[in-house]
Structure 1
Amino acid sequence: MGRLSGLFAPSSIAVVGATDREGSVGRAIIENLDADYDGDVVAVNPYRGSVLGHTCYDDLEEAPYVDLAVVVVPPDAAIETVRSAGEVGIKNVVVITAGFGETGSEGATREQELQAVAEEYDLNVVGPNSLGIMSTPVGMNATFGPDNALDGSISFMSQSGAFVTAVLDWAIQQDIGFKDVVSLGNKAVLDETDFVEAWGEDDDTDVIVGYLEGIDRGREFIETAREANDDTPMVLVKSGRTEAGAQAASSHTGTMAGAEAAYEAGLEQAGVLRVDTVQELFDAARALSGLPELPKDDVAVVTNAGGPGVMATDAVGDSSLNLASFSDATLESFDELLPDEATGYNPVDVIGDADVARFRGALDIALNDDGVGAAIVLAAPTAVLSYEELADAVGELQAEYGKPVVGAFMGGESAERGAAALREHGIPNYFDPARAVDSLEALSRYREISERTYPEHETFEDVDRERAREILGRVEERSDNRLGVEAMDLLDAYGIPTPDGEVVDSPAEAESVAADIEGDVVMKIVSPDILHKSDIGGVRVGVEQADVRDAYEDLVARAHNYQPDADVLGVQVQAMVDLDDATETIIGANRDPQFGPLLLFGLGGIFVEVLEDTSLRVGPISEPEARTMVDEIKAAPLLRGARGREPADVDAVVEALQRLSQLVWEFPAILELDVNPLVAGPDGANAIDVRLTVDPDQLADEPRTDAPSTTDHSTPSPDQ
């Protein structure tokens, strides 16, 4: 586990603020450690001689050296305690104390002081405002929760301490075990990315699960999770989906929640299985930690109950899985095994009088079929069926064939006994057949994630960064921070094609520019105060050369009539782009506080806000990622030549997306950027309009060229 090994496997722990006072946090932590912890427990409290049989020391300087300090003292004293830990060489600290960033500006200042101390001494600090941490291999329960975790291979992190206590209480009832448990608290120093990295390297962690309200280092999280996913699947509940939920998260932990769209894109790119409920979280975790890998998505259902069998069939149909089609040899075997009233087609109904032998024989035949990747054993209780014996048969056959099998033993007390027997074989049981299907779908999703490749991001070297910086710098001369079509040269600087044209500030200049353009022209008013030019008649299409002067004057007049105080910079004169065989798309970017640039592609023009047919990725993006963005919108068939249309040059669109991705990555000063429309035709793509918002305070920085590293996590197939 690298640098966090001392956090989870300390040989000794000091509790600073230990006390024997009933109902206190300091007492609860001492009692929890005394219950099972293998190492030494040191009590620190200058106002006590001893606590629950432990000699008390005045401070960490006087106490024996420990690997981990748990801090339960008032906020100001907590900072000094962390400093003392650093001075005596203790590298791992858990700050239980609240009263930091979650409480307002004074607490936020205090949290910054804590961060500075941790940085000065290079400390691993969990919290503040944390319930604490657990690690079952060493029996460590350094929390003030009421229960210790059961032993297991799931490592669990939560941004809510209350969620930890609730989950642990529920998990004991469900017989779900954990390896490590962390209450993240305010994440002043260590955050979710640090624990993903540690658990991804930990041979004893089979699955990472978590409840998060926000992700602090979005891009680093993506890269770290991708590496962890090679061997360790990750399942998360991310709260704050709704606007109200995001506000609640912020007030609860001081987390600045990013846009939900960014989390959706970022978690998908990270290879995280995102779920909505605690039940889904641990249904997936149990399947991923206990079952064999799913070789293929074709599922057999073996049942003694026709109605629930239909329910399971419907659930498979609603999922990404398939109901397996049996071979002729398999069907013949079922004919030989089953009575005439039974059916050997999938779902296999062994009928209500089936005993364990018939159930076992049917499951054996199904798993022996090469077309079957997994099985669900769905049973209703009968007088002739022992759930415990059936569970043992299911476990033995799963071990023999190496294919995942899940149980849906329905019922009450008898089902509980059967579920307990299944757990002995690492097999989960679900009362609801749909949950059994969902658990297998989690295996399928993880297989797809683990087989992904992440190609290197291409950096285009034919870009003009100095020219781009000069164009962005024009906002420093303005009263606002927006640029429009007058910044079309910014796209040129990064190789995104634009039609010939210029922004002019007189009728004579308009005529001169138009004369150099073959054919009719498009003319648009240029004003940072008028965002939707079409709404006021600020765009003229198909203007003949002879009408350019009059069109210029008309556009300027319309702008002043619409908004007398508008800052009118002039008129853009632009070559016409043939739209007859083209599709209007949009490419854009928005800077998310956690993940950075969020790239968008979709159907553009006037339809983008109406149809909302878009795809999103956290940038920078590679060529395959850009191509997937283009392919996954609903209107993609339009680009491929639907209804006899000539196909668009999709390669040109993909390259434009990549170049835009590089632009917004290299210039963090760009807060928002829309190219709408990007006209995609048979002979290429052209950016017709642009609008962007710039942060002038970041323009002094050099363009960044440190694109995040990417790693191939598997060998590409020959056609990739």
Structure 2
Amino acid sequence: MSIPVDERLRVFRDPRSVAVVGASADESKWGYWLASGALRGRHRRRVELVNRRFDTLLGSACAPSLSALDAAPELAVLSVPAAQVAGVVTEALEMGVRGFLGVTAGIEKEAELAEAIRAAGARLVGANSLGIYDAAGDLELCWGRFQPGALAIVSQSGQLGSEIATLGARRGLGVSRFVSVGNQSDVTAAELLADLADHDQTKVIALYLESFTGGEQLFDTLSALRETGKPALLLTVGAGAASSRMAQSHTGSLTSRMDVVDAACRRAGVHRAGSPTELVQIAQACLATTSPAGRRVAVVGDSGGQCGVAADRAVAAGLTVPAVKEEVATQLSELLPPGAAVSNPVDLAGAGERELGTYADVLASVLSDPDVDAAVLTGYFGRYHEDVPALAVREREVAENIAAVSASYSKPVFVHTMADSSSTADALWAGGVPVFEDIDATVRTVAGMVALRPMTAPAPAELGAPAGVSLSGYWAARNALADCGVPFPSGMVVRHRLEAVAAAETLRAPYVLKAGWLAHKSEHGGVVLGLADAYELVEAFDRMRAALGDGEYVVEEQDRSEHVVEVLIGGHRDPGLGPVLTLGAGGTEAEALRDTAVELAPITEETARSMIARLRCAPLLDGWRGRPATDIAALAALAAAVSRFLAANPGVSEVELNPVRVGPAGALAVDALIIEETENPND
């Protein structure tokens, strides 16, 4: 996947000249930090300082205005009071300035100013930016100092971006590029991320965002960056906030904004970290080793208690701890004392204390299992040399052997130790083995790196509805969805009593009668079930028509399948991230149960199966208390079909099948709703 980059953004990476407008000698002022940082790069570019109150600043000449300079700077840094910004920008554009870094906040008519900059062929980062830094370009235009390294930070909050950089520096993780995007009045986070594609110093990307306008482009860019070997870690806020859009289906009310963001992360192979510390820990591990191929983890330790805790925390983090193969268990039995746990977790039962090399030998055995993707070593290893200094050399040798074992199997090893700041830990890190003092941090890092592998590519969306055909109302929705493979009961449209009689003669009882134009039929008396014969059907039709008026009513054969579980399949079009599919427990209690799984549409049947497995009601579908299992394959196929329909029809804002009755012999949709972008249906 190619990554389009606006070449005008190069001015924010390595400009030929910079002018700091509002430079200062006062260390408590923004102008000082911007000026002093810019001057550190004057061996590489021309640096101009502008402040009408001074002739010299920080040992350099200072001009009273941009127009007083001998030549136009390529990049102008705006650190003047808000009321002066527009005038400075006008002056700069007349001179031919190509880029602006806007630090000042509270600029009046900021959007109009940004438009004027774009119209002149220039670009603006900010306003309200904390600045930019580029290690390769010797460009420092920000508050504070950064340690050069491999981590790029693109942040909507400059302060939080600085925290990430500070936490990274404490762990020896430096910054390749830092950009505080500020208000994104012009240049967006997605554009700045795309500009990292050929930034050789960047190996891992940290991204903090509070909004996801243009999110489809942003996640496409992150996916493309991952393909180039630059994984991304996302930090955001609002995990508990409901979707801001006024959804008219059950699906919309069941889906939070963070559900959708997480789905976008899974699709793109991005990990959403829970805190700056977690982000930095995973970033450091990404630079040390490769991501596990899957979630299957072997837990090895020298304490039964620590092994048990590690296994429990691994499962809580979304990993699995499968039993090792019989031949591997046999190998372990030969390495360890009688009675040692050898299935997984593996407890060394004192063997490590007798011979430190056992740690590496056991890890070699478990990593040889094709059903193991990574190993977690937990416990005392790493501290032997502290308590017994004579073991220092041997422990370091074993650490190097552990790293060699990991490399030989191309499977990462992660170490939780009681001494994470030691020469042994240094040897592990140097060999590509991440080390942590906390077991939760260890397994979170494993899970986070697993998340950097994207989900299966989606199926193509080719099921667009005919142009100009309305999809409003149950019967129209039914027909459109049936065309893409969704099964419905036999049914007929009825508008008056004689058609109801004809329906009774054509269809098989018992019958269901529905007011086809209502979105939520049961809440308005718009559905009657279990009509046993023609007399009951006609009588129910007369009552419903008298209460609701003329309209398109639908009569269907009532599904009589046994051992059925009711499921909801729906989707909506997120304004920033595109089509989203929701699958969950259905029926009239769907909103009370709130048991759902969410992915971006379209999805494959494989992905649909993974969504089903995540539901709390999944045991009911698998067969509960002696009941037969339902046809999960049919449900997965139906969910994938609905996702393709939604993705292929941009004019559809919401679609919902609720309930879908899933039984041992298949899945059947017994109600459907499609809301088009221009609709405002009557609930």
- Tell me the TM-score normalised to structure 1 length: 0.77
Question: Is the CA contact (8 Å cut-off) linking 1:585 and 1:604 kept in structure 2?
Answer: yes
Q: Which residue of 2 aligns with 1:14?
A: 19
Distance 2:434 2:642 in 1: 47
CA deviations on 1:205-253 (whole Å, 9 max, x unpaired) are 2211122212222222332222222222222222111239999xxxxxx
Distance 2:19 2:404 in 1: 48
Q: What amino acid does structure 1 have at the position aligned with 2:469?
A: R
Choose which of 90, 96, 102 in structure 2 pairs with 1:95. 102
Q: Which residue of 2 aligns with 1:541?
A: 530
Distance 2:533 2:73 in 1: 83
The correspondence of residues 623-634 of structure 1 with structure 2, limited to 5 A, is 623-630=605-612, 632-634=614-616
The correspondence of residues 84-483 of structure 1 with structure 2, limited to 5 A, is 90-99=97-106, 110-144=109-143, 146=144, 148-230=145-227, 231-243=229-241, 259-294=257-292, 297-299=296-298, 301=300, 308=306, 311-312=309-310, 314-316=312-314, 318-319=316-317, 320=319, 322=321, 328=330, 332=334, 346-348=346-348, 358-359=355-356, 361-369=357-365, 370-371=368-369, 373-374=374-375, 376=377, 378-380=381-383, 382-385=386-389, 389=393, 392-393=396-397, 396-397=400-401, 400-401=404-405, 402=407, 404-410=412-418, 415=421, 428-446=434-452, 448-449=453-454, 452-460=455-463, 463-468=465-470, 471-472=471-472
Distance 1:627 1:423 in 2: 38
Q: What amino acid does structure 1 have at the position aligned with 2:196?
A: W
Distance 1:506 1:273 in 2: 56
Distance 1:681 1:435 in 2: 42
Give 1:518 shift: 4.5
SS in 2 for 1:157: strand
Cα distance 1:503–1:362, how it changes in 2: closer, same or farther (>3 A)?
same
The correspondence of residues 574-589 of structure 1 with structure 2, limited to 5 A, is 574-581=555-562, 582-589=564-571
Distance 2:289 2:195 in 1: 23
Question: Is the CA contact (8 Å cut-off) linking 2:22 and 2:79 kept in structure 1?
Answer: yes
Choose which of 617, 629, 635 in structure 1 pairs with 2:599. 617
SS in 2 for 1:379: coil
Question: Is the CA contact (8 Å cut-off) linking 2:270 and 2:451 kept in structure 1?
Answer: no
SS in 1 for 2:588: helix
Cα distance 1:363–1:79, how it changes in 2: closer, same or farther (>3 A)?
farther
Cα distance 1:542–1:387, how it changes in 2: closer, same or farther (>3 A)?
farther
Cα distance 1:547–1:603, how it changes in 2: closer, same or farther (>3 A)?
same
Question: Is the CA contact (8 Å cut-off) linking 1:626 and 1:658 kept in structure 2?
Answer: no
Choose which of 59, 62, 68 in structure 1 pairs with 2:66. 59
CA deviations on 1:31-78 (whole Å, 9 max, x unpaired) are 233346652322234454333233334226845354433222344543
CA deviations on 1:394-444 (whole Å, 9 max, x unpaired) are 6633553425444544359xx366656665556543222332333334344
Cα distance 1:264–1:526, how it changes in 2: closer, same or farther (>3 A)?
same
SS in 2 for 1:9: coil
Query: Quick check: 79-88 or 45-54, which moved more?
Result: 79-88
CA deviations on 1:253-290 (whole Å, 9 max, x unpaired) are xxxx9722211222222211112112211111111112
SS in 1 for 2:18: strand
Question: Is the CA contact (8 Å cut-off) linking 1:136 and 1:178 kept in structure 2?
Answer: yes
Query: Quick check: 285-294 or 275-284, which moved more?
Result: 285-294
Question: Is the CA contact (8 Å cut-off) linking 2:460 and 2:644 kept in structure 1?
Answer: no
- Tell me the TM-score normalised to structure 2 length: 0.80
SS in 2 for 1:696: coil
Residue 33, structure 1, aligned to residue 38, structure 2 = yes
Q: Which residue of 2 aligns with 1:506?
A: 496
SS in 2 for 1:137: coil
The correspondence of residues 647-662 of structure 1 with structure 2, limited to 5 A, is 647-648=630-631, 650-651=633-634, 654-655=637-638, 657-659=640-642, 661-662=644-645
Distance 1:490 1:444 in 2: 38
Give 1:30 shift: 0.9
Q: What amino acid does structure 2 have at the position aligned with 1:523?
A: L
Question: Is the CA contact (8 Å cut-off) linking 2:513 and 2:553 kept in structure 1?
Answer: yes
Q: What amino acid does structure 2 have at the position aligned with 1:96?
A: V
SS in 2 for 1:606: coil
Distance 2:43 2:288 in 1: 27
Cα distance 1:192–1:689, how it changes in 2: closer, same or farther (>3 A)?
same
Question: Is the CA contact (8 Å cut-off) linking 2:515 and 2:526 kept in structure 1?
Answer: no
Q: What amino acid does structure 2 have at the position aligned with 1:549?
A: V
Distance 1:94 1:698 in 2: 43
CA deviations on 1:100-133 (whole Å, 9 max, x unpaired) are 5xxxxxx5xx232144234324544322111011
Q: Which residue of 1 aligns with 2:248?
A: none
Q: Which residue of 2 aligns with 1:70?
A: 77
CA deviations on 1:665-717 (whole Å, 9 max, x unpaired) are 5244x433322123446776544323454443899xxxxxxxxxxxxxxxxxx
Q: Which residue of 1 aligns with 2:251?
A: none
Query: Quick check: 129-138 or 682-691, which moved more?
Result: 682-691
Distance 2:38 2:25 in 1: 14
Distance 1:396 1:47 in 2: 61
Q: How many residues align?
A: 643
Cα distance 1:391–1:37, how it changes in 2: closer, same or farther (>3 A)?
farther
Q: Which residue of 2 aligns with 1:553?
A: 542
Q: What amino acid does structure 1 have at the position aligned with 2:418?
A: M
Q: Which residue of 2 aligns with 1:677?
A: 659
Give 1:182 shift: 1.6
Question: Is the CA contact (8 Å cut-off) linking 2:461 and 2:644 kept in structure 1?
Answer: no
Please, what is the CA RMSD of the aligned residues?
4.1
Give 1:612 shift: 2.6
Question: Is the CA contact (8 Å cut-off) linking 1:16 and 1:44 kept in structure 2?
Answer: yes
Extract unaligned runs of 5+ from structure 1.
101-106, 248-256, 473-482, 560-566, 700-720
Query: Quick check: 394-403 or 120-129, which moved more?
Result: 394-403
Query: Quick check: 620-629 or 638-647, which moved more?
Result: 638-647
Cα distance 1:416–1:165, how it changes in 2: closer, same or farther (>3 A)?
farther
The correspondence of residues 698-709 of structure 1 with structure 2, limited to 5 A, is none
SS in 2 for 1:55: strand
Distance 2:596 2:340 in 1: 49
Distance 1:118 1:352 in 2: 66
Q: What amino acid does structure 2 have at the position aligned with 1:289?
A: L
Residue 524, structure 1, aligned to residue 525, structure 2 = no
SS in 2 for 1:208: strand
Extract unaligned runs of 5+ from structure 2.
246-254
Q: Which residue of 2 aligns with 1:710?
A: none
Question: Is the CA contact (8 Å cut-off) linking 1:523 and 1:543 kept in structure 2?
Answer: no
SS in 2 for 1:284: helix
SS in 1 for 2:461: coil
SS in 1 for 2:196: helix
Give 1:534 shift: 5.7
